[in-house]
Structures are given as structure tokens and as C-alpha cells.
Chains A and B, each alone.
Chain A
Amino acid sequence: MPDDRELWERIGRGDALAFDALYRTDAPKLELFLRQILRSRQAAEDVMQETFAQIWRNPNGFEPTRGALGAYLFGAARKRAAEWWRKQDAASNRKIETERSESKAEIASLVGDAFARLPEEQQTLIWLREVEGQSYAELAVILEIPVGTVRSRLFTAREALRSVWHAPPNAIRRAHEV
């Protein structure tokens, strides 16, 4: 298996096989991540495809000294996801999702439901740290923030998740009605 630098150099030279290897390895993880923050299977697939297509058309921006190729991919996908949200009527979409979730009080105590209530940046941080195992340095590259800020924002995100997770269902509902 080539290392990130070698793989990237091959991609930069237009090596379709090298890029396909990257796609097959990382696209499923990327799509799963996008599904969490976009809350739509179709949108996640579209954004994932766009992310890879853009990188293939224009293999720019990855710098091996700043982090792993995987981190770069998540960073690129995160930006595309943010663009996707901007293009949507985000406010109404989120409202629909919230109402849908609240109608199922029985699952409100599950961590997944609590997670869905967090802002996207906090979701991104927690998912990439806890599920993808990205390091603080990689998270700094993905989110374009200093490493010290990663630590404080992760703490804030965990606290937010903990407070929603442990709150009783009606308390969660009240919070969203405000």
C-alpha cells in the first residue's frame, strides 16, 4: 500500500487506478460521516461524490506535512457539506428534522438522537474524534483551527452532548421550542 505522499503524487499525475483505490477505501467512511451531519442519505452520497470528483478534477491542497490524506478528505467533505447546507433552506430543513425527532420521545435518550441535536461543527468534531479516531492535529487541519482550540471545542461539544443526552425528553423539547 503506498503512503499518502506517494499516493497523492500518483493522483496528481492523473493515475486513475491510484485515485480509485483512495475512493474505494475512504468513500464509505466519508459517506457515513456526511450522513450524520447532513441527515440525508441521498445528500450524503451526492456530497461525497462531489468531493471526490472535485479532488480528481483538481488535486490541490493536500500537504503531507500537515496531516494524513484521510484528514484532508474529511476537511474537503466538511466544506462541501457546509456549502450544501447553505444552498438548502437550512432553517426549515432542521425544523423538520427536529419535529420528526421529537415525535419519538422514546428514543430521545439515545446518544444518536442527542448527537443529532448538536450544531454541525460539534457533530463534526465528536464524530471525527470518537468514530474516526482523528488526532487533535488532524482535527486542526480539517477544521482549520489551532490545536489548542480543538481541545477546548471538543470539551464544549462533549458537554453539549452530555447535557442533551442526560436531559429528560420533555426538557429537550422545551429547549428546542425556545
Chain B
Amino acid sequence: MKCEDTAEFVSALCDGEKIPREAAEHIGECEACRTRLNAYSAMGTELRRLASLQEQTEVKARPWEKVPRATFKWWRKGGTTMKIPRFAFASMLGLILLLSSGLVLVRARTGGGGPVLLLTFELDGATSECIITTDGNARTNVCGITTAVRGGGMTGVKFRFVNREGDRTQLGVKATYKGNSDTFHFTDDFKDVPETTIWMEPGEKQRIAILGWGDFELTGEYLDYMPSLRWRPRETLDPKKNEFRIVSPVLVRGKEVLFNLTGSDSTDSDDPEATLMIYYPKEGRYLISTAPFEGAVEGSVAPGQIKFTLDGQDYLLLTAMPTTRSEHVWVTHDPQYKLSEHMQGARDDQSMFMVRSLRKLQQPQIRHIM
């Protein structure tokens, strides 16, 4: 072993850490390494001496009285546009609500069991939001978000409602960072992440650490209704221009229900080629795009419905909310499509749907933050 290989172990040895046998042998025989060890040790001694010489002031006694809590906001002024940079939103695909499968996403109001907590994140320069309920509803008491951060890697943050005392809500938080990765799996990647608990109060800012990455700012406030879109709570039921949303799709062919799925996804606005892909075992893949493309048949759009005809058979796609402002869509069906051949880690016996740009979905390999 050479000195440059053992230099870091000299520092570790100075801290009483165990080091590899080879490194220990080298340090024992090497004059230069022993000099380094002695220098480190002397520096530590000098610093402790310095600290001892410095006056350790007696802190001022102060009363620790209960601090008045922030005002509870029942109503929030609407109409504010959520600002999410594209790269951040694009990285949120797959989204929040996959956290708990089979979510009932759309409710006009909460069921009277308590208010809804809107969580706002300031992470890596982007603002994101998600919603959880504080009424103990297991289907809506968890939310999370993944973000592709600048400099590479993904962060994942997940919140779970634990308890509520007046205006204070206790949350379980899992926050983690995956370096050198552009995917995040909500089930697997949170599995070994320790959960910490925090108390949220309306309007109060706090910083949450993401181990290995840094921290982000979190604020929360209560709403007395469940927003139409849990993952974009300030937006209306009406999709934005060039946006494609999909919530709980049901596909009917003739009189036969082909599938009935839960969950949701959407594109950001301003993608004129926003396209829905639905894969269902043994049924293959459907692509439904707001832009014409090769081999596609034209279909029509009504609020909550898309109609099209393929191979002489009528199809009706029912959705829980309006999908797009377009009046027409273009549809293809590939019954031979195998999900496992096009998406890493996917199985052919799983159903899934997602909204992406047409160009991305037509690539041989597609990605999905699951």
C-alpha cells in the first residue's frame, strides 16, 4: 500500500475508527504517515486547547412560554397559478397518487371527517404541492413526490398522516435521494428509508432533510374541501390548453367492459402531442393522442368520454373528469404489445396507463416513474 492510499485511513485512525489491516501495517512502518497522524492529533489537541481558552459564556436565562400558534386558515384565495418548472413536473410523472393504489381521487368535498392538508414543497428551486386528508381515510392520508434534481439523481419524499391535535398535524416523513438514477420506485425505494415524525402548523415554514442530498422547505395549510386534482390542487376541473388528463379510465367495446382502472396521470400544459397510453394484459396497448399520427383513426371527445371505432367495433372510454380541450383524438391499438419488452422492470400481467408526449411513447423503450 502507498501513502496516498492510506492517507484517508490515517484520519479515520485518528478518530478511533477501525481501518483495514493493510493500511494499519503501512502506517506502522511509514514515517510520512506517522508524521501525518501526529499532525492530525496535534491539530485536534490544539483545537481543544483553543476551545478551553475561549470563554464559554453563561447563557441568558429566558422564559419558555407557550408561543401563540399561527392563525388557522380555513379558506384560501383561489385563482393562483401553481408554478412548476417543466423539468420538475416532468419528473413527477407517475405521480403522487400511485402511492396508494386504487385511489378515489375526485371528490367535491371531504366527508365531514376533518379538513384537508395542502402541503407545499420548495425543493431544488421548484414549487410542488400535494394533498393529504387528516380524517383517517386510509386512501387519502398519504402523498408524496419525486423530483429529478439538478446535478443528477432523484429525490423522493413521502408524507403520512399520523395524528392531529387542534391546528397541529403530526406527519410521518420519508425523504431519500437516489444519486445516479433517473427513476424512482415508490414502493421499493422507500422501503428501507427511516420515517421521522414532524408537527405541521398552518403557515409555518420548516426544513426537512433529505439524507445525502440537502433539505427542502415545507409549509402546510388546511382546506375544507378536497381539490379536484390532488396532485395539482389549485387547478380547476377543466384541463388547460394542450393538457391531457386521465383519471380512473373505463374502456367499453360494444357492450363489453374491457377494463376498469383507478389512478391518474397528466401531462403539463403546452404539449400539442399529449398522448395517453393504456396497457392492459391480453388487450395490448392503446395510444390516444391529441395529435394525428401514422396509422391512427380519429375519435371524438366529450366531457368525460372519448369515442372511436377500430376494426368495425365501437369503443367508449369513460373517465372521471374531462381529459382534454381538444375535440378530436387519434387512436391506435396494438394487441400484440408486450409491456415487458418496452419498459424496464415491467411485467406483462400488470395494467398501467400514463400520459406522455407522443414522441416518447413511440420510442422502442419507454420510461415510467413507478
Given A19-B64, A56-B67, A144-B212, CB of A126 within 8 Å of CB of B58? no
* 5 extra A-B contacts, CB within 8 A, seeds A66-B194, A79-B215, A112-B46: A111-B43, A144-B212, A146-B212, A161-B43, A166-B39
- Please tell me if the beta carbons of B213 and A144 are within 8 angstroms of each other in the complex: yes
A104 within 8 A of B: no
Interface set of B (CB-CB < 8 Å, partner A): 7-8, 10-12, 14-15, 17, 36, 39-40, 43-44, 46-48, 50-51, 54, 56-59, 62-67, 194, 196-199, 201, 204, 206-215
Residues on the B chain within 8 Å of A136, using CB: 15, 17
- Please tell me if the beta carbons of B198 and A65 are within 8 angstroms of each other in the complex: no
Closest A residue, CB atoms, query B11: A155
> How far is A58 from B213 in the complex, measured between Cα atoms in Å?
23
Could you list some 25 contacts between A and B, CB below 8 A? A14-B66, A16-B63, A16-B66, A20-B64, A23-B59, A27-B59, A32-B51, A58-B204, A58-B206, A61-B196, A61-B209, A79-B215, A111-B50, A115-B50, A126-B47, A129-B44, A130-B44, A130-B47, A130-B48, A131-B48, A144-B211, A144-B214, A145-B212, A162-B43, A165-B43
Residues on the B chain within 8 Å of A23, using CB: 59, 62, 64
> How far is A87 from B191 in the complex, measured between Cα atoms in Å?
38
Distance between B293 CB and nearest chain A CB, rounded to angstroms: 46
Closest B residue, CB atoms, query A75: B209
Closest A residue, CB atoms, query B19: A151
The A-B contact count (CB < 8 A) is 114
Chain A interface size range: 35 or more
Residues on the A chain within 8 Å of B194, using CB: 63, 65-66
Select B209's contact among A45, A127, A144, A154, beta carbons within 8 Å. Answer: A144
> How far is A166 from B212 in the complex, measured between Cα atoms in Å?
33
Closest A residue, CB atoms, query B44: A130
Select B54's contact among A35, A45, A58, A144, beta carbons within 8 Å. Answer: A35
- Please tell me if the beta carbons of B11 and A61 are within 8 angstroms of each other in the complex: no
